Amino acid sequence: MKLEKITKRPRGACKDSSARRYDDACGAAHALDLIGERWALLVMRELMFGPKRFSDLRADLPGISANVLTQRLERLEEIGALTRRKLPPPAASHVYELTPWGYEIEPVLSVLGRWAARSPLHDPTLPLSAASLMLSFKTMFDASRAKGLNARIGFRIGDETFLVRIHGGKCDAARQALEGAEVVFAGTARAIAAAVYGGAPLAALEAEKALAIKGDRALAERFTRLFPLPQKA
């Protein structure tokens, strides 16, 4: 039982120190060297609306383990995509924030999202984070359906608030106070997604207490129809 442990090593080579990189000048390949590891891009996604703490990231990325999150944050800092800051005295905690170049990852998230939305295997009923939902609005917004619309729609998801502005055929979203919102959705990101992408009637979601709407109801209804999903491939 205590036999051949080390003896033979002629097979199963191990290209020494060359790590696991694509040695490829192609930009896409280099991007994968930088952020192609598991969870890396989703960590950046969660930071797209501003800094967060370690535990916020853990909570918003269900399934990631603490050690993997630590490794990804270290790597993202190493490549210059995020910075780690110490909060002022009251809180002895750290926050992680994307650098300007880090924020430029947004088009990658958009384009990947649009591509995957055409996948027959895509299941829009799975849970999602608040950041994912806000990004999906920016990604899936259909300007032609928002002709002449100028609105501020608020969202209260957990203890965060977001303001989505629709103005001049553009759709922008930010994590900020709800001042000036003509209507406010309060609920889980999943419930809001059910209304916008799943076609669930607002009244039904409210009846289930999954969603609460305050303000201009007609605007809320119209809002849910501004984000058509593409045809499946």
Partner DNA sequence: CGGCATCCGGGAAGATACTG
Partner DNA sequence: CAGTATCTTCCCGGATGCCG
Binding site for DNA (CB under 7 A): 8-15, 19-20, 37-39, 53-56, 63-68, 70-71, 73, 93-95
Which of the choices DNA, its own copies, none does residue 13 contact, using the CB cut-off of 5 to 8 A by kind? Answer: DNA
Cβ atoms of 30 and 36 within 8 Å: the answer is no
Where b means 16+ CB within 10 Å and e means fewer, 100-135 reads: eebeebbeebeeebeeebeeeeeeeeeebbbbbbbb
In whole angstroms, how close is the CB of 82 to its own copies at the nearest point?
Answer: 12
Which of the choices DNA, its own copies, none does residue 181 contact, using the CB cut-off of 5 to 8 A by kind? Answer: none
Tokens 């990631």 sit on residue: 64
- Token pair of 222, please? 């119209």
When asked if residue 142 is in the footprint of its own copies (CB under 8 A), the reply is: no
Which of the choices DNA, its own copies, none does residue 139 contact, using the CB cut-off of 5 to 8 A by kind? Answer: its own copies
Residues 37-96 that bind its own copies (CB under 8 A): 38, 41-42, 45, 62-63, 79-80
User: Using CB under 8 A, which of the segments 83-91, 126-134, 155-163, 173-181 binds its own copies?
Assistant: 126-134
Q: List, edge to edge, every strand of the sheet that includes 160-167.
A: 170-175, 160-167, 151-157, 183-187, 211-215
Residues 6+ apart with CB under 8 A from 186: 155, 156, 157, 211, 212, 213, 214
Within 10 A of 41 (CB to CB), how many other CB atoms are there?
19
Cβ atoms of 173 and 202 within 8 Å: the answer is no
When asked if residue 224 is in the footprint of its own copies (CB under 8 A), the reply is: no
- Token pair of 74, please? 């270290």
Which of the choices DNA, its own copies, none does residue 100 contact, using the CB cut-off of 5 to 8 A by kind? Answer: its own copies
When asked if residue 129 is in the footprint of its own copies (CB under 8 A), the reply is: yes
| Of the residues 43, 69, 132, 196, which one makes contact with its own copies according to CB under 8 A | 132
- Token pair of 50, please? 């501003």
CB nearer to DNA: give 82 or 220. Answer: 82
Q: How far is CA 218 from CA 79, 117, 183, 225, in A?
A: 46, 27, 9, 11
| Of the residues 85, 93, 115, 143, which one makes contact with its own copies according to CB under 8 A | 115
Q: Catalog residues that contact its own copies under the rule CB under 8 A.
A: 20, 22-32, 34, 36, 38, 41-42, 45, 62-63, 79-80, 99-101, 104-105, 107-109, 111-129, 132, 135-136, 139, 190, 193, 233
